[in-house]
Structure 1
């Protein structure tokens, strides 16, 4: 069973996401464009591309198409009926559908690097070809700290994420 806390964590982990309300519902937007909301009765609504909506409808038996003037704009499904991994993917797809193209492309380029390391650290890592946590694990703490833009906080966050995946920095 997925919770509002998991929805909030998935949405707010994406760049430039803001939380607010929309018609009394908890809502998430990127640069003013809503991509996810939660009704008071526990249904999550996601603004998805037509292809992503079709896939979500096929994968989730209780999902319902959301239409605006007869045009499909996303899906609606019970939050409790979707597992956390699927919710994360759906929220990311909805965010990508509504985010400006450059922002979405930049977010895709960061691989699985956590946003919490900050933009300077992300740019520093990407600039040296380190775009995944697996590639981070090939380096030592000293090597990472030597990169301009990577500080102790970024290294701490990276270590925590690596530990969650059963990885660690090179000794």
Structure 2
């Protein structure tokens, strides 16, 4: 059974996501645009495009289309009725649907394994950790320094060894984790 904490982890692992409240619901936004929320009765609401909504409805029979003022805006499903892998994928699609184009393009490049020109992450942290950091919008050591050890370890693909290597690289540049 999927939980709200899994939704939180999936959402907060994406670049520039903030957690807040919207009409009493736990809500997640990217640069002020909401893309996911959880109702008090445990329904996950995701802002999706029409094609994504139709795919989600056919894959999750307990889900339903979400309308606002008669316009289709997304998909709603009980959090307990969706597995973690599917939830992660839908949260990611919702983020891409609402994120600014440049930010979404940067994450798509990271997903493709393309490092930005200014990326100074040490190669020794390994591909999974590099991919996780790039996916979270952390392309430089200076950006990594804005995070805590626990925040980095919460990213799927970043383990203790990667955090140690990042800490050592930061120390060489006179910086440290937050």
Aligned ranges for residues 157-168 of structure 1 at < 5 Å?
161=157
Give yes or no for contact 2:129–2:157 (8 Å, CA) kept in 1. Answer: no
Secondary structure of 1:15's counterpart equals: coil
Aligned ranges for residues 8-87 of structure 1 at < 5 Å?
8-87=8-87
Aligned positions, number: 140
Q: 1:133 aligns with which of 128, 133, 141?
A: 128
Deviates more, 1:73-82 or 1:103-112: 103-112
* 1:80 Cα deviation after fit: 0.2
Give yes or no for contact 1:53–1:65 (8 Å, CA) kept in 2. Answer: yes
- TM-score (ref. length: structure 2): 0.67
Specify every segment of 5 or more residues in structure 2 that has no aligned partner in the other structure, as ranges: 132-139, 160-178
* 1:108 Cα deviation after fit: 1.4
Instruction: Work out the CA distance in 1 between the residues paired with 2:26 and 2:130.
Output: 37
Instruction: Work out the CA distance in 1 between the residues paired with 2:129 and 2:21.
Output: 37
Q: Using a 3 Å threshold, how does the CA distance of structure 1 residues 162 and 38 change in structure 2: closer, same or farther?
A: closer
Secondary structure of 1:91's counterpart equals: helix
* 1:14 Cα deviation after fit: 0.4
Tell me the residue number matched to 2:102: 102
Give yes or no for contact 2:47–2:75 (8 Å, CA) kept in 1. Answer: yes
Q: Using a 3 Å threshold, how does the CA distance of structure 1 residues 53 and 73 change in structure 2: closer, same or farther?
A: same
Secondary structure of 1:9's counterpart equals: helix
Aligned-residue CA RMSD in angstroms?
3.5
